[in-house]
Structure 1
Amino acid sequence: RDVINKGVATQDLLETAAAAYAAGWQSIKLYFMIGLPTETDEDVMGIARLTREVLATRGNRGGGRVNVSVAGFVPKAHTPFQWEAQASREELVRKQQLLKTALRDRRVEYGWHDAGMSVLEAAFARGDRRLGDVLVKAYRLGCRFDAWSESFAWARWHEAFAACRQDPGFYAQRSREAGEVFPWSHLISGVEQAFLWQERLRAYAGAATADCRWAPCPGCGICSNLGASVLLREASS
């Protein structure tokens, strides 16, 4: 969680789960992400351990369920991970299966995002104009409503990329150099590239960056570049 700067402590999560169960809720849904930079199989298995810990907060009340939803990491433009390589489709599937085995419990409902769809998301999230031809080809091959799992067909998308002589791995599974010019470099989000790079280094170190509404300015550039003002919450009396 520190790698993606969530700032959520395990104890806080468990206390919240216990309070929800105590208030009468029967089911809790947890969202996770796999394939993040620095991730190990031990980290993946930590999802199963945390799920069991959440179930344990129900105590002796009996019943209770946990719905576990797992998505694959997708590097996005204008974020500290825009330089990162995504895990391969095969690696994401392998980790999904690790969790499927570890989460075999009648009280746990386990769902995951299609790994092929995650690869597509990563390719188009950091793609360039050449992928326009791939989109058209995929449409002509019958790709429709692909956000719905029952309509998604990885084989058709793979065929579309091949027909256009494009490799989804070039866009999704390729690490970028620090000075690479991106297809989105001409778009100004307000956040300085140097700040994003430093946040990437902090992510690798597991160092979270505090919310600037309550902490000193980290120097991202938004306020100075876009003329924004940080609105601070009034201190409670």
Structure 2
Amino acid sequence: FRGCIRGCRFCQAGAVYRPVRERSADTLMRLAKELIKNTGYEEISLTSLSSSDYTMLGDLFNSLIGVTQPQNINISLPSLRIDNFSLDLMKKMQAVRKSGLTFAPEAGTQRLRDVINKNITEQDITNAVKKAFEGGYSSVKLYFMLGLPTETNEDVSGIAALAELVAGVYYSVPKEQRGKGLLITLSTSNFVPKPHTPFQWEPQDSIESLNAKQRLLQGETKRKYIKYNWHDANLSYLEGVFSRGDRRLAQVLIAACEKGCKFDSWNNFFNFGKWMQAFEECGVSPDFYTARRRSYDEILPWQHISAGISKTFLINENEKAKKAQTTPNCREKCSGCGAAVFGDGVCIV
């Protein structure tokens, strides 16, 4: 399953892997059997950008279970779409080993979810977790982003409020139906604008602002049943520089490497100070790549690369984001992104 029908405005993979293409269930079954036979792995993961949107998912699961369950092999999915969550599917998936559920609302308020075109509502969220809690689940993970365009402290506080709403749903389920020991794990990553997305022109939130928002959430998530995890804002800043950087960063990369910068995604190896020294010695300002809003007319370092998505479409989506207007998914209505030029996929069905 390649691509994604959803059109979230922050997602680079959802843009560059258009149009959506699906492998047949028969092909996936053949591959799964070969993997089991040749690797000895104890788990098969159905990995894609939005696996729950696969049109043959139910049939595929029924076939897979017949092969995996007798061999005590687990089936896993990445985070689930809240608006098409199926408890029956989850029970089948976790017949071998049961774990918690993972959902990705991405933003704490409806306004901000509309800005990023997430296209899920608070009602979708409560319906999904209620099904899960009624089915005996008591652990749920919720993924969010901080620093999204137009985000305010009210949106950040909305993350904590959403966690409390989920807790309220749990306690509304009769004790004999729900599992014991509620645990809501909130995880926030820091939004990094990416090329080939509607937000490629937007500034990235500053380190100071992201740290302040993390502190705000820490103060509002002190219930014993809420666990809050966050991402290093310094590392996100560096990611933002290289995500939309140009050839001048090559000398910075070499200088940082010579200073011993390596394995930077591991906190015990990451040295932000050495990176800043490398930028200064090379005469390159990292804020040039992160802190300013680019104009639609600016020549971007990546614009000579075609991902099939037209600039007009990206600009229109950026403008709709400013108005918190949503765009339907590709199976509901074609939005004219340009990916049809590739001649295959959902956009020309």
Pick one of 312, 329, 336 that aligns with 1:194: 312
Pick one of 263, 274, 289 that aligns with 1:171: 289
Query: SS at the partner of 1:46?
Result: helix
Note the C-alpha offset of 1:160: 1.6
The one-letter amino acid paired with 1:51 is: A
Matches within 5 A, 1:66-215: 66-215=184-333
Note the C-alpha offset of 1:232: 8.2
Q: Judge conservation of contact 1:3–1:206 (CA < 8 Å) in 2.
A: yes
Q: Judge conservation of contact 2:204–2:290 (CA < 8 Å) in 1.
A: yes
Q: Which moved more, 1:3-12 or 1:195-204?
A: 3-12
Matched, 1:21 2:133: yes
Q: Which residue of 1 aligns with 2:98?
A: none
Q: Which residue of 1 aligns with 2:102?
A: none
Q: Judge conservation of contact 1:143–1:156 (CA < 8 Å) in 2.
A: yes
Q: Which residue of 2 aligns with 1:45?
A: 157
Would the alpha carbon gap of residues 231 and 193 (structure 1) be closer, same or farther in structure 2, given more than 3 Å must change? closer
Note the C-alpha offset of 1:150: 2.9
Note the C-alpha offset of 1:105: 1.4
Would the alpha carbon gap of residues 17 and 232 (structure 1) be closer, same or farther in structure 2, given more than 3 Å must change? farther
The one-letter amino acid paired with 1:57 is: V
- In structure 2, the gaps of 5 or more residues are 1-112
Number of aligned residues: 231
Q: Which moved more, 1:26-35 or 1:144-153?
A: 144-153
Query: SS at the partner of 2:299?
Result: coil
Q: Judge conservation of contact 2:144–2:186 (CA < 8 Å) in 1.
A: yes
Q: Judge conservation of contact 1:83–1:178 (CA < 8 Å) in 2.
A: yes
- In structure 1, the gaps of 5 or more residues are none
The one-letter amino acid paired with 2:336 is: G
Note the C-alpha offset of 1:153: 2.1
Pick one of 97, 108, 124 that aligns with 1:12: 124
The one-letter amino acid paired with 1:26 is: S
Q: Judge conservation of contact 1:214–1:232 (CA < 8 Å) in 2.
A: no
Query: SS at the partner of 1:45?
Result: helix
Would the alpha carbon gap of residues 67 and 46 (structure 1) be closer, same or farther in structure 2, given more than 3 Å must change? same
Q: Judge conservation of contact 1:35–1:73 (CA < 8 Å) in 2.
A: yes
Note the C-alpha offset of 1:19: 1.5
The one-letter amino acid paired with 2:124 is: D
Q: Which moved more, 1:10-19 or 1:58-67?
A: 58-67
The one-letter amino acid paired with 1:142 is: G
Q: Which moved more, 1:145-154 or 1:97-106?
A: 145-154
Superposition RMSD in Å:
1.6
Q: Radius of gyration: which is bigger?
A: 2
Q: List per-residue Cα deviations over 1:57-84 (Å, max 9, x = no partner).
A: 1116462010100011111000000000
Q: Judge conservation of contact 2:330–2:347 (CA < 8 Å) in 1.
A: no
Task: Report the Cα distance in structure 1 between the residues aligned to 2:141 and 2:345, rounded to whole angstroms.
Answer: 35
Note the C-alpha offset of 1:231: 6.1
Q: Judge conservation of contact 2:340–2:348 (CA < 8 Å) in 1.
A: no
The one-letter amino acid paired with 2:282 is: C
Matched, 1:57 2:175: no
